[in-house]
Amino acid sequence: MVVEVMGGTTLAKDVVFQALRSGKNVVTANKALIARDLPEIEALLKEVNTGKAVEDEVEFRYEAAVCGGIPVIRSMQSDFVGDDISEIAGIINGCTNFMLTAMDRDGKSYDEALSEASDLGYAEADPTLDVGGFDARSKLRILMRLAYGVEVDEESIACKGITDLTKLDFEYAKMMGGTIKILGVSKKSSEGKVGAFVSPCYVPGDDSLASVNGATNAVEVTSFNLQS
């Protein structure tokens, strides 16, 4: 087995593809690689597994790439087979949820919350992918492919981060009885069209996502059979 934790889409891709061609099972948490190259990886798996018995097939697993602690990918692959998913909405970046919790619950400023997230290891040295919403966008694209079977250009997903949020925003949210979370949301219309965005959102206090605090992730899935 090969466990790929390098990240990126260049050398990591070479390692993953060579491992699969060599008959090695691969496990990765590389969301950038999966978001960009999953169709190519699946095509390669089909090629290398042709003629093999099920127990001998090469496997590619990527549960850790999107909210690994839930886990949501395995659920999407098994629990919704034959169902029709109409909406995905979730907190899919732990760093930003930690920061927003600190701003809401502890009254910290954006800079104070980012500094604490960095000290605790939740934020990278360059936190742009997290605070800009881009990490969540990559994860949302992967979930959309699993939910709807569609390939979406990541750049076409509207994306707004948390850098402009202030204490005042949370004060207003509290006055309205809720809080602010950065959510990844995707919906499929009755006509089959799919829309998606990543953005800070007002979340009412009685919504289950409002109570998800710290570096925790949570995803709500709405489908025809299960409803939620």
- Give the active site residues: 139
Indicate the residue type of 100.
L
Cα separation of 34 and 65, whole Å?
8
List Cα–Cα distances, 207 to 9, 67, 165, in angstroms: 37, 20, 21
Give the number of other CB atoms < 10 A from CB of residue 56.
Answer: 9
Radius of gyration in angstroms for the set of CA atoms belonging to the chain, rounded to a whole number: 19
Q: Among residues 196, 132, 194, 142, which one has the least CA distance to residue 163?
A: 132
Structure tokens at 212: 């998800």
Cα separation of 150 and 153, whole Å?
10
Helix (H, G, I), strand (E, B) or coil at 53: coil
Whether the CA torsion 127, 26, 37, 39 is positive or negative: it is negative
